[in-house]
A and B are shown apart, each in its own frame.
Chain A
Amino acid sequence: MLKELTDEKLVELAVSKDPDAFGEIMKRWERKIFALCFGMLGREDDARDAAQETFIAAFRNISNFRGEAKVSSWLHRIAVNQCLTTKRRAKTRSEEFLDDDGGESERVFVTPAHRSPANTTEATERLIIVRQAVSSLPVDLRQVIVMKEFEEMTFQEISETLELPLSTVKSRVYTALRQLRMKLERLPMEIG
């Protein structure tokens, strides 16, 4: 029965203390939110934590959901904010690490698990570069490219979720890919 309801109706039920309603919302969105967090953060454990925090924050603030925006927009907004918080925390941690490490270069810290490229394959190195390139995109561009590739949303869906004109979404995806191309051409030299 819950499967047939819209997201907005499920939120209403969740507000009225229906324990299964929010579970259904989570079931619908968990893969996409996890994908968004993975694309934004580039690490599985960080993505898992961010997605978990997203759902907790959503549930805590569910009474504040006014219904003016779509549930997908609301969840994406929370998730992106959560990812940014996670990134800030990671940056603070990395700065503390660098301080402790006597100022080791950032390049080495960014991929601490891959300090020995000798035992990694070329494909793995390429993935690291791509991850870094996506991670260095501005948030608005990174968000649309992650929604497009990881969540596999259409331009129309992204437009509705972000409450942006369709042309803006297309333009952002295009700009994101162009910037990515330039970064991918530059990064191997910086990393290598």
Chain B
Amino acid sequence: MKNANISECKFSADMVSYMYGELSESEGSALELHLVDCAECVDEFAAVSSARYEVYDWKHIEFDPLETPRFEVSYDDAVVPSWSDKLRAVFAQSWAVPAFSFAALAIVSVLVIGLAWMRSGDEEIIAENPPSQTVAVPAKDVVKDEPESLPTVGPRIEVTDQKPIVATAAKTKASLPKPHVAPKIREVPATTAVSVKGLDPKQATAKNEVKAAPTLNAFDDEEDTSLRLAELFEDLGTR
């Protein structure tokens, strides 16, 4: 409230001038007369004066005793033209504008020629080497060849129903759309190959690769034989 009143007071603007002794004599007298009647302005004047005194005191105690430092500005350090000044100085030369224009034109020409040359080079390369087409080998064909391409030497044939077989040649492998399932060859123990009489192990292994499945029916044949013998005994008994 007090502040609002004081800001409305017509003497508030003169108060600081009076405080710093910058009012004319007549203006100062008018303010003094006003202060006699206006208690709020007196309070305000006291508050502002005390604030000013604090700053004055600070300056008097801390700043006044200080000697003015010796400032040095040497030509070597100070006259450092900025990059814009340097640029301006270069372009101020009479030869600069035509020279830079010519250089810019030359650079652009080189770029355009280079770009055109690169494009024509690309077209020549395409004409000489048409893009190779990847032909996917049909899965069935690969499977057909597989028994011949499988290794023929080795104690075991590690071929199962689930294991995918990839085309033997690397190129074919790359071109295959997806892995193929092995032909249904049942696993044969290594001993089977050895047990085949009259055959070289290599030949036996090869045989196993091709005709492995029928050999496993041997057990069933024996069983059948035993059954037939039982029937024979029964027949003999009845007789």
Contact = CB atoms under 8 A, between A and B. Distances in A.
Contacts of A162: none
A150 interface: yes
Nearest to A31: B68
Contacts, number: 94
Contact of B58 (A127, A155, A174, A177): A127
A55 B54 CA distance: 30
A145 B68 contact: no
A174 B13 contact: yes
Given A38-B66, A134-B55, A51 B71 contact: yes
B108 to A, nearest CB: 35
A130 B48 contact: no
Interface in A6-62: 19, 22, 26, 30-31, 34-35, 38-39, 44, 48, 51-52, 55-56, 59-60
A38 B20 CA distance: 21
SS class, residues of chain A in contact with chain B? helix
Contacts of A184: 51, 54
B47 interface: yes
B233 interface: no
A149 B52 contact: yes
B73 A59 contact: yes
B29 interface: no
By size class, the interface of chain B is 20 to 34
Nearest to A149: B55
Given A26-B71, A30-B68, A155-B17, A178 B48 contact: yes
Contacts of A149: 52, 55-56, 59
A51 B52 CA distance: 24
By size class, the interface of chain A is 35 or more
Contact of A55 (B47, B61, B71, B80): B71
B12 interface: yes
Contact of A39 (B13, B57, B59, B79): B59
Given A51-B69, A149-B59, A150-B63, A181 B20 contact: no
Interface string A153-168: 0110000000000010
Contact of A60 (B52, B61, B72, B79): B79
Interface in A41-97: 44, 48, 51-52, 55-56, 59-60
A152 B20 CA distance: 10
B22 A181 contact: no
A178 to B, nearest CB: 6
B51 A178 contact: yes
B48 A59 contact: no
A55 B63 CA distance: 20
Contacts of B66: 34, 38, 44
Interface in B13-60: 13, 15-17, 20, 22, 47-48, 50-52, 54-59
Contacts of A155: 16-17, 20, 22
Nearest to B58: A130
B54 to A, nearest CB: 5
Contacts of B63: 35, 38-39, 150
Contacts of A171: 13
Contacts of A154: 20, 22
| Closest A-B pairs by Cβ, 8 of them | A181-B51, A180-B51, A59-B78, A177-B48, A177-B51, A130-B58, A48-B69, A174-B16
Interface of B: 3, 12-13, 15-17, 20, 22, 47-48, 50-52, 54-59, 61-63, 66, 68-69, 71-73, 75, 77-80
12 contacts: A26-B71, A30-B71, A35-B59, A39-B59, A48-B69, A56-B78, A60-B79, A155-B16, A155-B20, A174-B15, A178-B51, A184-B54
